Amino acid sequence: MCVDHVAIMRKKGNLLDMIISGKKTIESRWYINKIAPWNKIKAGDTIYFKESSEDVTARAAVTKVLQLELTPQIAKNIIKKYGNLIDPETSKEDFIKWGKEQKKRYCILMFLSEVEKIISFSIDKTGYGISSAWMCVGDISSVAKRTRP
């Protein structure tokens, strides 16, 4: 069974614009603890994207998921291999520096395809936490404040 997810993106850095334009083809989440979407996302699922305090404006299919427990070397290898697909506007050197400073222990890479802009809609985050940056919603209609796009 495929599941819908909502990824809340920070506005800084134009990451959502890069996803829509096809420059950013991997969505990544770096965590200290195993939190959503760890073990909750798989190939075939759909991610709906919204910037913080904005409506959902895009969606993409997930074609592949990698979940990794990080060591400094594994983090460096991820950045070297996938860094330009995760954030095309950040140099690998800056990305590696960021990785060392963050002390993250887990990384999830979600490979995107079929990215499309959609008619925007708002969502109800009740029950997901006000600062939640990821929502595993099952069916998007359960949180959408209008009919499914």
The CATH number covering residue 104 comes to 2.30.130.30
Residue 58 belongs to some domain of the structure: yes
Q: What pLDDT, on a 0 to 100 scale, did the predictor assign at position 129?
A: 82
Helix and strand element counts for the chain (H, E): 3, 6
Q: Indicate whether 147 belongs to any domain.
A: no
30 — alpha (psi -120 to 50), left (phi > 0) or beta?
Answer: beta
Q: Mean pLDDT for each 10-residue chunk of the chain (149 residues)?
A: 91 91 96 95 98 96 97 91 93 79 90 97 90 93 74
Number of domains in the chain: 1
Question: What integer pLDDT is reported at residue 100 of this predicted model?
Answer: 72
Q: Which candidate, 146, 129, 137, 111, places its Cα nearest to that of 48?
A: 137
Domain extent, residue 80, equals 4-142
Residue 96 in domain: yes
Within-domain flag for 68: yes
pLDDT value at residue 146:
65
pLDDT attached to residue 130: 78
Q: Is 98 domain-assigned?
A: yes
Instruction: With respect to residue 148, please indicate whether it lies within any of the assigned structural domains.
Output: no
The per-residue pLDDT for 33 is 94
Residues 6+ apart with CB under 8 A from 129: none
How much is the pLDDT for 31?
A: 93
Residue 45, in any domain of the structure: yes
Amino acid at residue number 47: I
The predicted pLDDT at position 148 comes to: 45
